[in-house]
Amino acid sequence: MTDYKLTDVIDSEKLIMILNKFTEATDLAAILCDLTGKNITGPSNFTRHCNIVRSTELGKIKCYESDAKHGITSVEEGMPIMLPCHCGLIDLAAPIVVEGRCFGYVLCGQVFLTPPKNKDIENAKIRAKQFGLDVDEYVQSFLEVKVLTKDRLIAAVEMVNIFSNYLVELGLNRLMQQRLMEEEQRRLKLENLLRVAELKALQAQLNPHFLFNTLNTAARFSYLENAHKTGDIIYSLANLLRFSLRNPQQFVTLDEEITYIKHYLYIQKIRYQEQLETAIDIPEDLKTILLPVMTLQPLVENAIIHGLEQKEDNWKLSIKAFTKENVVIIEISDNGVGMDSNALKELNNFAKTGKGHTTGIGIPNVDIRLKQYFGVEYGLEIASKPGFGTNVMIKVPKTYQAKDVAGSEA
């Protein structure tokens, strides 16, 4: 059962109405408390004696202590109990229990089982002085307290206990129904969101594939019209699109990444009218190294946009791979404008923490992915010097190759 409190489940207005009718019919006082002793309802039909006592600070404290003691005892025993309060009046306490769980208790009483004796009156005078009350007035209110039989008291408390438990049970059922309705609404909302997501996923697949097929058609027409360079550009773009449609969590071989980069660089060379000079050197035994898809492209793009484009001419970009102590290092180097120490520090800090301001957003994202897949000892190292270019080193484990991974998509 959810950890509801008494105030969550009780219909206080109905309970107050029941308590008022109950006290009118029985001449008893009544009040409802939670497990901490906090009053949930106001006092109903309290005797003049008890109101006078509670009007004093000391009397109020002692009354609250008695209420708490009686309530806790009834909760511990799991049944209605009858005990005298600190003033000698008889109180009853009954636990409110639903489905084996106690939510609080009902207190009622403020009566005598037998008329007070001389000793009781003398004790009342002593209490009056302790509370700072007028002795005569207090004793008079003490003698006004009604006398009821024990059987009548027990029957009365059992009746109000039944009503209280019934109201709490109704409240619990209402809350459970409300919770079920809310869960059903959440389920329907999630199903709707899922349908929308599925539709968007279908659209996301449809649009790129449509574009991909259109590019291939355009490429074939360009060859038919003898526009071979245009056809080559379109085919390279189509291949870039095909590669980008792969699952972002998929691993590909270094050879596949390089093939993708060659298409990308081909388009860039055409765009910059052969101003860009590239060199790629990948040993045969390293071509099966596995990388997260699209590892190289953000770094190559960053080198061109933030390094080479800021330089007038003589653009050079190289990609090479080699092994060092069982670690494969892939270097992407450019002879662009480079970065000063502050910019380099900012970029390296962004790569490590994801915090800061940098234009090379692709670099930290690549570093984060590599560390997630391979461990913190792998990832990127960046070196740069103003006027001399930038060198990005990608460190990945040599042992992680397509031939060693069952079911890999090489």
pLDDT at 358: 37
| Measured distance CA(155)–CA(166) in Å, rounded | 17
What DSSP designation does 310 have? T
3-class secondary structure for 240-282? HHHHHCCCCCCEEEHHHHHHHHHHHHHHHHHHCCCCEEEEEEC
pLDDT at 280: 95
**Secondary structure class of 47 (helix, strand, coil):** coil
Cβ count near 175 (within 10 Å): 14
Question: Which regions in the chain score pLDDT beneath 70?
Answer: 1-12, 15, 36-37, 98-100, 160-161, 163-168, 170-172, 175, 194-214, 245, 247-248, 348-362, 402-410
Q: What are the distances in angstroms from CA 9 to CA 122, 159, 174, 181?
A: 45, 20, 8, 17
Per-residue pLDDT of 390-407, as tens digits, reads 999 999 998 777 655 443
Mean pLDDT taken over the chain = 80
pLDDT at 35: 73
Half-sphere exposure of 18 (CA within 13 A, CB side): 22
| Measured distance CA(131)–CA(57) in Å, rounded | 8
| Measured distance CA(210)–CA(212) in Å, rounded | 5
| Measured distance CA(360)–CA(347) in Å, rounded | 7
pLDDT at 351: 52
pLDDT at 87: 93
